[in-house]
Amino acid sequence: IRRIGNILMWKFQLRGLFGCDFIVDAEGTPWLIEVNPRYPASAEIFELACGFTLLRSHAAAFGVEWNDPDAEFETYPESVLAKGVLFAPADFEMPALDQLQIATPYESVNRIADVTAPGTMIRRGEPVCTLLVDGVDDETATHRLEEAAREFLLSALPE
């Protein structure tokens, strides 16, 4: 995987953060399927788990010193973090959400992110929001993610 990143940097002059999507075959070989030259969605998970801001490293790759005293955030080094995109099981109109439910840059765990504006018609199969939860192990985190999706849909879908 590191070799793939180095080749992409060399051939395309990519710097800073970028995402590489890949699949791993039965022998453990990663096969690159997509390159996203932007801040990857998984970066947030690494930041929360490890306790450092990747944007600071991204800025440094361009010779910029990024020093944001407000960039301190709670980390979850002892937790398993699970992040998922919720897709609409049916057509519905996005309700207004309590502001305490919506993620902020420094408080995103157990909150809802990438929220569509209230009143927007969401069609079946379209993305609704992103959920990020923590747990003590994979099973607990997965269960909490499923539960967060269920709770959101119960509150958002018409009876």
Over the stretch 131-144, which tens digit does the pLDDT of each residue have?
Answer: 989 888 989 999 99
Integer Rg of the chain from CA: 18
Which amino acid, residue 70?
A: D
Over the stretch 89-148, which tens digit does the pLDDT of each residue have?
Answer: 999 999 888 877 887 766 778 888 888 889 999 999 999 999 989 888 989 999 999 999
Q: Look over the chain and give the mean of its residue pLDDT values, rounded to a whole number.
A: 85
What kind and span of H or E run contains 21?
strand 19-24
The 3-state DSSP composition of the chain as helix, strand, coil percent (nearest 5) reads: 35, 25, 40
- For residues 75 and 100, give the distance between their C-alpha atoms in angstroms, rounded to a whole number: 19
pTM: 0.71
Residue with tokens 């929360």: 48
Neighbours of 145 (CB within 10 A): 20
Does residue 70 surpass a pLDDT of 60?
Answer: no
pLDDT confidence tier of residue 88, bands split at 50, 70 and 90: very high
- Chain centroid offset of residue 2 CA: 21
- For residues 150 and 155, give the distance between their C-alpha atoms in angstroms, rounded to a whole number: 9
Neighbours of 121 (CB within 10 A): 11
Average pLDDT over residues 80-84: 88
- Residues of the chain with pLDDT > 70, as a percent, come to 91
Q: Is 49 helix (H, G, I), strand (E, B) or coil?
A: helix
Beta carbons of 158 and 92 less than 8 angstroms apart: yes
- Total number of residues shown for the chain: 159
Tokens representing 50? Answer: 């490890």
Over the stretch 18-52, which tens digit does the pLDDT of each residue have?
Answer: 888 889 999 999 899 999 888 787 888 887 777 77
